[in-house]
Amino acid sequence: MLAGTGVSAATDNTRPEIVIYTEDYKPLYFPHEDGRIDGSVTRLVQSLADEAGISVQMHMRPFKRGLNAVESNANHCFMALWRTEAREPNFNWVGPLEIDGYGLFALKDSSIRLSSVEDSFGYATGAVGGWTSTNELQDAGHPNLVLVYEDKLNANMLKTGHTQLWLGGLISSPYVAAQEGVEIRKLLTLQTVELALACNPKTDVSLTDRLQAVLNSHLEKKPQSNPKRLTQ
C-alpha cells in the first residue's frame, strides 16, 4: 500500500517514482477515516501510473500546503489543478483528468437571483482561500468573500446563515452539500475548466510524457459524445 494513501501500487524499487499531493475535494479525491485516499480521479491517476510503470506516493494536505510542496520539489505533482491560462507555464501538465468548473450556489429555498458575478457582491460568499475561483472573484472586486480552508465549511456556513452564497466547484459542491445534509441549487456558472495533474516544471519530462500517453489512449477509447469524462 502507498504510504499515507491506501492506494495500491507495485513496490518495485527500480520503477521511477513521483510524489503526489492532493486535497479533500469530494468526490474526485478525498481521505477515508483510516487514512486511505480515494476518489474517482485518485483511482484514474493510479491506473495511469500503473500502466506507465511509475510508482506513486500520495499525501493529503490542505490546498496551499500541498501546492507549496509541489512548487518546491522536482518529481512532485498536485492532483489536480484547474488548468488555467495563468497557471499554464508554471507546471508540466497531464490532463484532462476531468472537466470541472466553478459557480455560485445558494440554499435550495433561497430567493437570491443572479445574472452576473457583480450581482453576488452584496452577499456574504463562502470560498476556499487560494482556489482559482476565489482568486478570480477577489480580482473582480468581490467585497464580501468569507474565506475558509476546507470546502465543507462552506456548506455549514450556508446552512447556518453565516453566508448567503457558496463559491464552489461544479462537481464537488453538490456532492459535499449532500454529505453535509444541505440542499443547494446553482445560481450561476462562472467558468468550466479542465482538471489536470500539475507537476513541478523540473519533473522528469519522460514521466509526465508516459502518463500523458496512457491518458491519451484512455481518451481515445471513450465514447465520442463525452470523450473527456474518464471518471464516470
Could you tell me if 192 and 99 are in contact, meaning their C-beta atoms sit under 8 angstroms apart? yes
Per-residue pLDDT at 227: 41
Per-residue pLDDT at 13: 67
Per-residue pLDDT at 127: 98
Q: What are phi and psi of 67, to 5 degrees?
A: -65, -40
Q: Do domains 17-99+194-221 and 101-192 have the same CATH topology?
A: yes
Place of cell 450581482: 119
Question: So what's the architecture of 17-99+194-221 in CATH?
Answer: 3-Layer(aba) Sandwich (3.40)
Domain ranges of the chain: 17-99+194-221, 101-192
Kindly report, residue by residue over 22-43, the tens digit of the pLDDT.
999 999 999 988 889 999 999 9
The more confidently predicted of residues 95 and 10 is 95
Per-residue pLDDT at 229: 45
Per-residue pLDDT at 6: 43
pTM of this structure: 0.78
Q: What are phi and psi of 48, to 5 degrees?
A: -60, -45
Question: So what's the architecture of 101-192 in CATH?
Answer: 3-Layer(aba) Sandwich (3.40)
In the three-class reduction of DSSP (H, G, I as helix; E, B as strand; rest coil), residue 221 is classed as: helix
Do the strands 165-169 and 125-128 form a parallel or antiparallel pair, or are they unpaired?
parallel
Buried b (16+ CB within 10 A) or exposed e, 163-193: bbbbbbbbbbbbbbbeeeebebeebbebeeb
Kindly report, residue by residue over 194-232, the tens digit of the pLDDT.
999 999 999 999 999 999 999 999 999 876 544 444 443
Could you tell me if 195 and 28 are in contact, meaning their C-beta atoms sit under 8 angstroms apart? yes
Place of cell 502518463: 211
Kindly report, residue by residue over 56-98, the tens digit of the pLDDT.
999 999 999 999 999 999 999 999 999 999 999 999 999 999 9
What average pLDDT does the segment 1-7 reach? 42
The crossing angle, in degrees rounded to 10, of helices 152-160 and 172-179 is: 60
Alpha helices, DSSP H only, in 18-120? Answer: 40-52, 63-72
User: Could you tell me what percent of the chain has a pLDDT over 70?
Assistant: 90
* pLDDT higher than threshold 90 for residue 185: yes
